[in-house]
Structure 1
Amino acid sequence: MDVLIVGAGSMGTWFGEAIDARVAFADVDGDAAAAAAERVGGAVADLEGEEPYEVVCLAVPMTHVTGAIAEQADRAKHAIVDVSGVMEPALEAMERHAPDKERVSLHPLFAPERAPGSIAVVRDRSGPATDDLLAALEARGNELLETTGPDHDGAMETVQAATHAAVLSFALAAESVPEGFETPIYEELRTLARQVTAGTPRVYADIQATFDGADAVADAAADIAAADPEELEALYREAAANWHGERSADRAESEPDGDESGGDGA
């Protein structure tokens, strides 16, 4: 099987390494395409060429995936897939521009350097080519999570947009503290802040531009900041019920929580 991978960044390179196929990379950055091809033993393709491939994979930023599908769909002989991270728009563009081809959207739920891991999968129109690709990914130790475009994109509002907004807000708001004053919860948040801020800013910007979720975090923070003690207790109980159920919320009201001395109880 020969596969054209459009996008020679970390995710496109991961895909080229993870499948059992002859791969070629096309990218607006020719040096990046050459580096990816050298790493996986593939070739470099012309981004604006017309040479057909059995499978075309779009590994471009999520804000550009629909345009890339429109430009590259005609080069796919059998199948078109994407690993952009947003599914509904990608699947709609695939159906529009490649209605007779196999169509699958993938979202690896991990950074490439942490592979293997869980991969969200929507088989919009499956067939032998995409079945072979998915089997190769499973053989590499990845777990395929079958889903739908709406379910995936709805989940990403919390899993990515809201989560990143909360961690980045902490990273911006937090001030340095004297050594020894750390609490366990603070240390965990500090670790998350360091992890998130070691990434690529454009990726996080694309996620916020694509998925809702940050506004809900901002609204919740504003509610906490404006709450009086009784209102804050009510917000705490609401949060506890969301994560632990009503029984836990009732217990939080009746039992000491380890926070009365100023600690965070963890």
Structure 2
Amino acid sequence: MAAPNEITPAQLLRLIGTPNAPVLVDICIDEDFAADPFLIPGSFRHPHRDIDGLKARLDGRRCVVICQKGIKLSQGMAAWLRNDGIEAEYLQGGMFAWRTLENAPRIPASALPAPVGGSTLWVTRHRPKIDRIACPWLIRRFADPKARILYVSPSEVAGVADRFGATPFDVEDVFWSHRGPLCTFDTMLDEFGLRTPALDRLSLVVRGADTNRHDLAPEAAGLLALSVGLSRQFKDDHQQLEAGMTLYDALYRWARDGQGEGHDWPADRTA
């Protein structure tokens, strides 16, 4: 019988990338992590002995605790947190089980930029349209939920990156940008190891809209129209990003679960 504070890898996989995903806490000991330096998307590392520090980071939010095998470390931590009023679960089988789950991505820890003030810091051109909304959505849903995004004048991206330690993206001559026919969203999928069927499907739509290749996916034209509309609806780039998060949440669920669904009226019309 499953424990009441246990979540299976398959159950967790369904939550990752959605707004309802719990906070993911990796408490693997340093030796185990050094031998396999990968993270479940959206998770952060925390020492298992620093329970008060973890409680402060959680701030009462639901969490899943992850260790190497899903036994003493994660079960003990989850039980302690639940005793202190935090809804906590442990990952059944830990990282060992996650590695065997089909289409379960793992992010190389080395791919994540060094945090600045507790979270990753990214900078790009202001007045975003497609890549500069899609990439922050991907970062926050799969890499760093607390990532901060700076939108600045195109001529100032490099200077801001240098002065503030931010990681530039979607500008020319930087690591996180277009590569050949692929857009920055594709680059992030490749570098973060996130090439799942759903995100691959979504990437075709993003790439088609961002590079004016609507032949790649019929949905690309619709994404372009919605992106232009959002850019004209919001003067503030961060308000536009928040609205765009909802848009890409919906697109991701379409790409994951709903791409085969059509619609007609009346509903019972026959061919």
Instruction: State the TM-score, normalized to the length of structure 1.
Output: 0.31
Q: Which has the larger radius of gyration?
A: 1
Higher strand share: 1
Instruction: State the TM-score, normalized to the length of structure 2.
Output: 0.30
Higher RCO (Cα < 8 Å, 6 or more apart):
2
Higher helix share: 1
